[in-house]
Structure 1
Amino acid sequence: MTALKKDTGDALMDEMLALGRAAKAASLKLAQAPREKKDLALKAMAAEIRAQAPKILAANERDMAAARARGLGAALLDRLLLDEKRVDGMAQGLEEVAQLPDPVGRSLGAWERPNGLRIERVAVPLGVIGIIYESRPNVTADAAGLCLKSGNAAILRGGSESAHSAAAILDCLQEGLCAAGLPKAAVQRLPTTDRAAVGIMLGLVEYIDLIIPRGGKGLIERVASESRIPVLKHLDGICHTYVDRAADPEMARKVVLNAKMRRTGICGATETLLIDRPALAFTKPILDDLIKAGCEIRGDAEIQALDKRVSAASPEDWDTEYLDAILSVKVVDGVGEAIEHIARHSSHHTEAIITADETAARRFLSEIDSGILLWNASTQFADGGEFGMGAEIGISTGKLHARGPVGAEQLTSYKYIVRGNGQVRP
C-alpha cells in the first residue's frame, strides 16, 4: 500500500493514485520497449506537434492573455510564449532525441572474477519520473521525449500559467504514443492546477521513483523540503562571465552581449560580469552594447566611473538571478580573484572565461566547481540541445545523481548482471 493515508472521500487523492498506478504500469512496458518502437513514438509525436501547431498556438495565446492580465513581467512572458519557431523547435527536439543511441541496455562495464563469475553493469530506466516545472510549455515535450527515450514514464506538472499550452502539447504526445502502440499513460499531466495535488504527488513513494523540479527558488525549496521521493534539483542560475586581460576585445563584446541578452529569462543567462582590471581599457564598448540593447547595468565604483549610466550595485546583486535585462558588473584583479568571487556567489550552474591566455583558462576550468564551464563561448550554450542531447529536462546543480544538462542518458540507473557456471561461495 502507498505510504499516504487516503481518505476514500477525497476525489483528488483518488485521481492522483490512479495516475500513479497507470504510470507505474506504463513504465514496466516502456522498460522492455525496443528502440524502434520508442523512436517511432518520438517521430509520431513530432509530426503531431507540427500538424497541431495552430491549436497549440491558440492555446498559448489564451495563456499569454491571462498572464498579461495578471501583470507578469517581460521575462516571464518570454518564457511562456510560443511562436511557430518555438513550436517547430519542440518537434525538432523530439526528432533529435529519436536519433540518439538508446541509453537503456548499455553495458557500463564488464569484468571477470578469479572464480569465473562474469559481472556486467547495465543501464536501466529509473521507472516513473515526476517533473514539476513553471512557465515554459516546451518543457512538456522535452521532458516527455527524454523520459520516453530512456524508458521512463512521466508525470508532468506544469505551471498554472501554461495550463492550456501544456494540455494541447500533451494531446500530441499521447497521440504519438498510441500511434507506436505504447501506453498512453506513459506521459500524463496532473489533473488539476490545485497546489494540493503537488503535495500528494511528492508523497507517492510507491509509484514515483524520482522528482525533478524545474523553476524558481520557491518551487525548488518546497519540493526539497516536502518530497518523500528522491529529488534531482535544478537551483538558481547565477552564471558568471569573466573577461580576462588577455581577452580579444571584439570577441569579448560579442560573447558578453549574447551571454546576457540573447534570452534574459533562461537559467544560462549571465547575471554577473567580472572584468580583469587591465581589461577596463576595452570595457566601455562592452557596456555600450549592453545598454544599447536595453540592459540595466549595476556596477562597482570603478564600473560606475567608467560610465555614468551605471547604477551602484548592492551586496545583494552579486547573489541575484535576475532572469531579466539586468547585469551586475565588478572589477577583479586577475583570474584568481575572479575564481574567489565565483566561489562565494555562484550557484554552481555555468561560468565562462574569455581569454587568449591558455594558462589562465586552464586554471579557471580546473578550480571552479560548477556543472558547466566554458572558454571563449557564451553561457547561453548551457543547454542539453546544444550539447547534442536533443533536449534536456534541466541543468542539475548538485552532484548526485547527475550534474549539468540532464538528458536521456542521465535518466537511467543501472543493475548488475552476474553470470556463473555453478559457483558457490565458500
Structure 2
Amino acid sequence: MAAARTQAQVRRAPSAKFGSRTDIGCVREHNEDSLIVAPPLYAVADGMGGHAAGEVASEIAVRTLARQAPSEADTEALGNAVITANYAVINAAQEKGRSGMGTTMTAAVLRGERLAIAQVGDSRAYLLHQGQMQQLTRDHSLMADMIEAGEITPEEARVHPKRSIITRALGSDPSMQPDLYELDVCTGDRLLLCSDGLTGMLEDSEIETILMRTRDPQRCASILVNEAIAAGGQDNVTVVVVDVEGNEEQRVKKTRRRGRAWAIVIILAIIATVLGICYGAYHYSQTCAYLASQDGKVAVYQGVPDSVLGVSLSHLDHVTSVEVSDLEPGVANRLSEGVIRVDNLDKANQLVDTYEEYIEESKAASASASTSNESSENAEGSSSESAESNEETEEATNSATSSASSSQEGVA
C-alpha cells in the first residue's frame, strides 16, 4: 500500500518522473525487499535474516527513513536518517528476539538538479548520463573487497559461492556509518536504485541498454524486473527508476515570465515610438502654415491641411481683408481650388503682405490708367471744336470775298 501511495505522488512530483516495481522472484518464499518513493525521497532496502526477519527489517528501515529524511539534498541529514533507521532495526531485533535481522539501504534525495545518496550494503545506485551508465555507489560486500584486492575478477564474482556475503548492513552494528555521495545531475539524466536481485541477474551493459531504450520510467522498471526474472530470478528484485527533470518547470515558468516581460517591453516600445512619431509629426505640422479661401477672402491657417484619425492637424489663425477675386488669376485659382502651403506663419503673413501690395499697385495702376483716358478724351474734344471754328471762319471769309467780287463787277 505504501508503494501504491508513493506511486500516485510521483505523478505530481515537480522535479522528477519515476517508476518502480518489486517482485519476489523465482526462488524465494518471501519478498524481503522494500522500497520507498516519496519525492524527493527514493530508497531500496534488501532485508536478510530468514523466517521473514528480513522483510520486517527492510520495512522498519524504510518507514524510519521516510519519517527522518530531509526534504533537501542534504547528505549529512540523509546519513543521519539512515543511522536512525539502523538503530530502529537493532531495537526491533532485540524486542522481537530476532538476532541477525538486518537490511541493506540505498537512499536518495533528488531536489532539482542536486542529488544526495546514503548507502549501506550491496543495493546500488546508478546514473545514466548522456547515454552512459555509471555506478555511483560501492558495494559493502566480500566480493567487492576481493575485486579491489585483485583476488578475483568481476566475472568470477558473479558466480562465486560467497557472492551474497555483505560486510555492512543496518541492524548489525550500532556504530555503523553509511557511505555518503552528493553530486550535481542534469535534466535528462536517469537515476536507478536497485537491489542485488537485479545486478546479480543482469550485466551492467544489459541494464544500460534497457535504461537507454525504454523512455517511460514505469515501463523501464517493469522491463528490468522481467528480464531479471527471465534470467533466473534467484533473488527478490526491486527497482526504482527516476528521470531527472531538475528545474525544468521553474525554467519554463521563468522563460514564460521573461517572454511576457519582453513582450510588454516591446509593446511599450512600439507604443512609445508611435506616440513619438505622432508627437513629432504634430509638432512639425504646427510649425507649418498655409493660405486658403474663406468666404471669398484669404485666410491664414497654422498647421497642415490634413487629419489623422479624424483629428485635424491645423487651425485657423486669422482671416485677412484680402479678397481672393482681387488677386492675379493664377493665385486666385489656386486658392479657390486648394491651398498654398508655406513653411511657417511668418512666411504666410509675408505672402499676404505681398498680395496686399499687389492689389494696391493694381488699384493704383487702374486709377492712373483711368486718369490718362479722361485727359485723352478732353484733348480730342478741344481739337474738334477748333476745327469747326476754323471751318466757320473759312466759310465767312469765302462769303465776304464773294460779295466783294460781286460789287466790283456791278461798278464796272
Shorter-chain TM-score range: under 0.3
Q: Which has the higher contact order (CA 8 A, sep 6+)?
A: 1
User: Structure 1-normalised TM-score?
Assistant: 0.19
User: Structure 2-normalised TM-score?
Assistant: 0.19
Find the structure with the greater CA-based Rg.
2
Bigger fraction of residues in strand: 2
